[in-house]
Structures are given as C-alpha cells and as structure tokens.
Copies of this chain bind each other. A is one copy, B any other.
Amino acid sequence: MKRINLKELANLLNLSTSSVSKALRDSHEISEETKKKVREFAVKHNYSPNPYATSLRKKKSKTIAVILPEVADNYFSLAINGIQKVAEARGYHLLIYLSHEKYSIEKAVLEECSNGRVDGVLISISSETTDHSHLQKLVNENIPLVFFDRAPEDFNASKVITNDYDCGYFTAMHLIEDGCTNPVFLSMSSALPICHRRAEGFKAAVLATGIASDPNKLVHYCDGTEEESMKKIQELFESKNRPDGVVASVERLAIQTYMVAQESEINIPKEVKVIAFSTLETAPILNPPLSTITQPAYDTGTKAAELLFQRIEKPLQYTQPECVVLPSIFMERKSCIPKSHFS
C-alpha cells in the first residue's frame, strides 16, 4: 500500500493540513475526539511524516557525513564500522562520501554538506588537500567537524589521530637493529600530514644512527597512479643502491612492494625487509607474513563519532577543539626478522 502524505490525510478527514498536523503533535488546540480520529486514520492509511519536512521543522537532519579517501583500504572499512555503531545507537544516518584522494571532490562534497543536509561532518582528508578554506567555510557555518586519522597540521578543530611520528621512528630503528643498512620510506604523498609525520620520525631515527647522512634520499614518493607507483618501486629495486629495508606508509604501498618483489624474485625478508602501516586482514597469511604498525581503526572511528555527537548535541558545552591520540601497535611477523633468524 502506498503511503499517503499530510495533504491527502487532511482531505480524507475533511480537515485542514494544519489541524491534522497539530492533532498528530497532540496540540491542546485540538479536541481529544478529533485527535483520536486523526490518529486512527493515520494508522489506517499508512501515513508517516516526510523526513525532510520533519528535518526542516526540527532543524536536524539526523544525518552525519563521513568523508573518506576510499573504502578499499581495510583501515577505512574498520573505521566506518566504529562510526556506524555510535551513529546507530543515536538514531543517526551516515552519508558516506569518497573523495578518491582528490581535493576537488572533497571540496565539492563539503559544499554539499552545508545548508542543513547534515548535522556534522567526520573527515579523513585526501592526499591532495593542502588548502583548508573549504574546511574553514564549514566551521564558519557552525557545522561541527571532527577529523579522524588524516587531519591537517594547522587547522583548529577536533581530531582523533595516532602516534605517527613515534611509529615512524620505531620502524627505522627496528629495521636497523635487524641489520638493514639502507632502509627507505615509501610515502604516498608529500602533502598528507600522517605520511609526513611518519616519514619525519623515520628520517630522524636513521640520521640519529649515523648510517645515512642525506635525509633527502630516505623518502620516496609514490603519489601517482597504481601503475606509476609500481614502476617507481620497481626502479628502486633495480637501482644500484637497492634498499634492504622498506617502510610502507600505507597498505596499498605494502601490497605493491610485495607484488614487485614477487615479480622480480626478490626475497622478503632475506634481500629486503618490509614493515607497513596497515590494518590489512591478510597480513598474517601473506608470503611472507607482513609486519605491521597496526592503527586502532575501529576505536578511532568510535572516538571521532563520540566527539562529533558531543558537539552536535551540546554545542555550548563543547566549544574547544580536542585532540585525542590513540597509539598504534607493532605486530612483528616474518617480513622483517633479523638475518640470524633465517632458517
């Protein structure tokens, strides 16, 4: 049975739409008898209010936007699950947008998020995003905004991030302790703060040990298409100065490193050791099992959603931006065992 709208319901009852509306909201202006009749008709004819009309009246869309670079990365899948759990418990809907790592899409999406379409925005910025005016515009319109994982360095808003610099430092130290003398860091973007912090930590550790002196040769940027990125890793592996240790800043680059090594018959970990920033589910069953810096993806999603709902529900109480740092953990597997452990 087709649902009927307010006007059709009013016609059936021979009342004005305003009287029917008031009756449904249990207004004292309407007699009990009429209210009873209206309610009975509403149930009988399958009437339920249009959510957009309800949104207009209440000035709440009961929807939040989640803006992500992609969903194919396991990190974002897990983060979405965390966000959804919190949103569902509050009766909110998720409008999920993918920027596909493009600044232009991210900007267009944020433009759509104003005007009352959503009550708040959770965002992990694209690898191209350096200009922040589109984010500032949202803040100026008093739409609550919380970053998760990928947050701009110099933007004053709440965020939930992880200890990227420390983890970058740790990966370099670990590779060097395992016997690497020429480790490199594969970054997916020079602009993206998470990659930048991870790379900075990595460089600081390598320089501190004295095994390298030129910081510019430690970080390689794989910021093009998948094909370009594979080619770059291939060239690196074929170069005279072939690295004996690789830290992949994101899951995609770890997969590509494995694929290139497999094609080129380069043995991991004998010829090159690999550590990746990744929550990849298949890490333990790869050939060889992949050592990972595992980010707290699900918890980051729930925490970011909680911060956002505080700001949506109690805007006067939560006025100051908050920065929450949830630490990542190291999962050591065979892709980076020391030489003495080779069987």
Contact = CB atoms under 8 A, between A and B. Distances in A.
Interface of A: 1-3, 48-53, 55-56, 61, 63, 70-72, 74, 76-78, 80-81, 84, 93-98, 100, 112, 114-117, 140-142, 255, 258-259, 262, 280-282, 284-289
A2 B142 contact: yes
A115 B76 CA distance: 30
B72 A255 contact: no
18 contacts: A1-B141, A2-B140, A2-B142, A50-B56, A51-B116, A51-B117, A52-B53, A63-B95, A70-B81, A72-B74, A80-B98, A93-B112, A95-B96, A258-B282, A262-B284, A285-B286, A286-B287, A287-B288
Given A84-B98, A95-B94, A3 B114 contact: yes
Given A77-B71, A98-B84, A142-B2, A286 B284 contact: no
A160 to B, nearest CB: 19
How many copies of this chain? 2
Contacts of A287: 285-289
Contact of A95 (B95, B98, B258): B95
A71 B48 CA distance: 31
Contacts of A78: 72
A55 to B, nearest CB: 5
A289 B263 CA distance: 13
Contacts of A51: 112, 115-117
Contact of A53 (B56, B63, B141, B280): B56
A258 B70 CA distance: 27
Given A81-B98, A259-B284, A262-B284, A52 B1 contact: no
Nearest to A80: B71
Nearest to A257: B285
> What are the nearest 7 A-B pairs in CB distance?
A287-B287, A52-B52, A72-B77, A96-B96, A258-B285, A71-B77, A282-B282
Contacts of A63: 95
Contacts of A140: 1-2
A221 to B, nearest CB: 22
A2 B81 CA distance: 32
Contacts of A117: 51-52
A135 to B, nearest CB: 15
A1 B285 CA distance: 52
